[in-house]
Amino acid sequence: QVQLVESGGGSVQAGGSLRLSCVVSTYTFSMFGNIYCMGWFRQAPGKEREAVATIDSDGRINVADSAKGRFTISQVKAKNTLYLQMNDLKPEDTATYYCAAARLFVWHHGGFCSAPRGGMDDWGKGTLVTIST
């Protein structure tokens, strides 16, 4: 099981920025030399979890329409870390943000990468992002 630890959440005003980090335990998985799909997902109170952005080991990326132009997903393999830079935050971005990974994956037409049967294999515990007006 891949261990994922998110950080960087917090409370900011609308229009502000946050950068989320997801550190992958090197004892459980190394980004170097492996194929994988990783991503950021979020779940707002009373709503279903949704994908925000995914990236694979080759750097192929997809970002949700609601986040395009504002959020950037990136990875630094040397640090075994996944990032989500969030700019121009809006109250509707308020949610718990989760990092997730799949070691075998597929890309869905026009969508995100995921485990072959859907979903992701491993999840972090989440970090809360709260955007105020």
> What six digits make up the tokens of 103?
């070691």
**Of 105, 132, 129, residue with least CA distance to 43:** 129
**Average pLDDT per consecutive 10 residues, the chain (133 residues; last block may be shorter):** 96 98 91 93 97 97 97 96 98 98 90 93 97 96
Q: Could you give the angle at the alpha carbon of 92 between the alpha carbons of 89 and 97, nearest 5°?
A: 75
Q: What pLDDT does residue 33 have?
A: 87
Q: In residues, how long is the chain?
A: 133
Question: pLDDT digits over 42-65, tens only?
Answer: 999 999 999 999 999 999 999 999
* List of residues 6+ apart from 27 with CB closer than 8 A: 3
Q: What pLDDT does residue 45 have?
A: 93
Task: Assess contact for 11 and 94: CB atoms under 8 A.
Answer: no
